[in-house]
Amino acid sequence: MSIPRVDIFLHIHGDPSVGIMPLTDHITLQWDLNEFQDERERVREILSKAWSELYDDNTSVHFGDECPDCLAVGYHKPSCPSALY
């Protein structure tokens, strides 16, 4: 049995006004999002905390199947800027 892979994008915000440019890291985990939906927020929190510590900056995390703006899966929340496209 093959375990599915999930892409995770970690956005380090930076501060362009002082020359610290934002950047995005990408990791792939062997993890079945469909089987462990309730773990999604826990994993997001763990990775966000770890990357924030590594880069000494705020980090936001989204999974490859989520909208990067509103974090919805398969649809956009009404306030999502991506819903306009």
Q: Encoding tokens for residue 11?
A: 């956005």
pLDDT digits (tens, 9 = 90+) for 22-56: 999 999 988 877 777 778 889 999 999 999 999 99
Question: Whole-number mean pLDDT of the chain?
Answer: 87
Would you kindly state where each structural domain of the chain is located, as residue ranges? 5-84
Q: Encoding tokens for residue 25?
A: 């890291």
